[in-house]
Amino acid sequence: MITGKIFLGVAAGLAAGIVVGILIAPDKGSVTVKKITDKAGVYSDELKAILTGGVKTVTDNLQNIAGTVNDLIEKSLLVNVDTAQKAKTEVNNNYSKY
């Protein structure tokens, strides 16, 4: 019941705003629509530029992270290979004693 009243109030306010806007509008409707369309295009271009820059930043950061991860994996593998070689040598040295 409360939700219905809220919806009705919002709808009435929206309708009243539209009526008042039409009555006091300084330009013809077609001119106003053109202004709104032009402004929306400008905002759209600005938003596109912001998002493109954001995507580029995220992409660059991910590439840097991937490079760092690859470097760490490579170093880890080299350390593991070196450790394995040392262990093998130690086993061979100990085995040759017997």
CA dist 59 and 77 (Å) reads 27
For the segment 31-82, what is each residue's pLDDT rounded down to a tens digit?
877 887 888 888 888 888 888 888 888 889 989 999 899 888 888 887 777 7
- 91: Cα separation from own chain's centroid: 53
Task: Please determine, for residue 88, whether its predicted confidence score (pLDDT) is greater than 70.
Answer: yes
Taking the chain, what is the end-to-end CA distance rounded to the nearest angstrom?
Answer: 91
